[in-house]
Amino acid sequence: MSPWRMTTAVAFFIFNRPDTTARVFEAIRRAAPPKLLLVADGPRRDRPGEAQKCAAARAIATGVDWPCEVLVNFSDENLGCRRRVSSGLDWVFESVEEAVILEDDCLPDLSFFRFCDELLARYRDDGRIAMISGNNFQQGAGGGEESYYFSRYPEIWGWASWRRAWGLYDVDMKVWPEFRNDGWLERTFPRRRLARFWRDAFDAVHSGGLDTWDYQFTFSCLRHNALCVLPSVNLVSNLGFGADATHTKTECRLSKLPIQPMSFPLRHPHHVVRDIGADRATEKEQHNPLDLLQKLRIILRLLLGRTAVSGSHAGAALTAGEHDVT
């Protein structure tokens, strides 16, 4: 068998953390994608020294030393998480049909790239599948003897997708009031606890009170009954928690999870169906409405104190702890 060579483009989202940017960039360099799309937010004017950190991160990410086409989308001003990540992904999927997506604090195992590469090709024309994740937050549960399983939840600490799936996304969730009022949420989540969790989350995003992009992607997947591929082992570790973070001073269970290599050839599920048991475990662990309300109150206090809530995938942060990338 000939050695594997990556064929998919990688989109790399960076901001003001040259230390983690260097570690993730080294993983990308080892995978040697043929095309690298770089997206960066601009520094905040009220943060002394941030411009220098942003410049250092950009210098690292543009230091490509393998045969590769490099495209850049760098913002001079700070757009925040919601607009920078969503507009960056718009640009990515205008530029390429499919991509592997990493943020500057999501450190992947090398096998993550091959995992995405192969499954992007396998499910390229399957409209049932919205994305491929590198995350397994269930300590290896889910998938059984197979290499991955299907979930309704898009985990985005290292993921991949197609233009066709991203085309269903709306950062402003304009149709949310209609869905909220016609009982869709209660039909989707018969258990009141879950319906309340997602209603609070989607209300916060739709009102503009929460500066994030990823809850909108979850809404898109749920709204279209899409499936997400989740690996049987955790392929990506989130480094964005700790004392040097702006908001995520305290680490949680999901921070800095160990990574394991994926075995090849992949063992594919026999049927494209959702693993309800795995999803219920996720819901029990991560989707607690009381925790969500508590964290929304914290965010409200930050907003009233004129501290921007602009962490990478801040929506996921409400269930796992907030961390900064944009």
The string of pLDDT tens digits covering residues 185-195 is: 999 999 898 99
Q: How many CA atoms lie within 13 A of 223 on its CB side?
A: 20
Domains of the chain: total: 1
Per-residue pLDDT at 297 exceeds 70? no
Of the listed ranges 38-52, 158-172, 251-265, 269-283, the least confidently predicted one is 251-265
212: domain CATH number is 3.90.550.10
Per-residue pLDDT at 21 exceeds 80? yes
Q: What percent of the chain has pLDDT over 90?
A: 75
State pTM to two decimals: 0.88
Question: How many Å separate Cα 41 from the centre of its chain?
Answer: 16
Task: Tell me whether residue 2 is in a domain.
Answer: no
pLDDT tens across 248-295, in order?
445 666 777 899 999 999 999 999 999 999 999 888 877 765 555 555
Task: Tell me whether residue 161 is in a domain.
Answer: yes
Q: How many CB atoms lie within 10 A of CB 235?
A: 26
Task: Tell me whether residue 151 is in a domain.
Answer: yes
Task: Tell me whether residue 167 is in a domain.
Answer: yes
Q: How many CB atoms lie within 10 A of CB 142?
A: 23
**pLDDT, averaged across the chain:** 88
Task: Tell me whether residue 258 is in a domain.
Answer: yes
Task: Tell me whether residue 1 is in a domain.
Answer: no
192-206 and 289-304 helices, crossing angle to 10°: 20
Host domain of residue 80: 9-320
| pLDDT category of residue 129 using cuts at 50, 70 and 90 | very high
| pLDDT category of residue 219 using cuts at 50, 70 and 90 | very high
Task: Tell me whether residue 3 is in a domain.
Answer: no
pLDDT tens across 300-319, in order?
554 554 333 334 444 554 44
Task: Tell me whether residue 44 is in a domain.
Answer: yes
Per-residue pLDDT at 119 exceeds 80? yes
Contact between 268 and 118 (Cβ < 8 Å): no
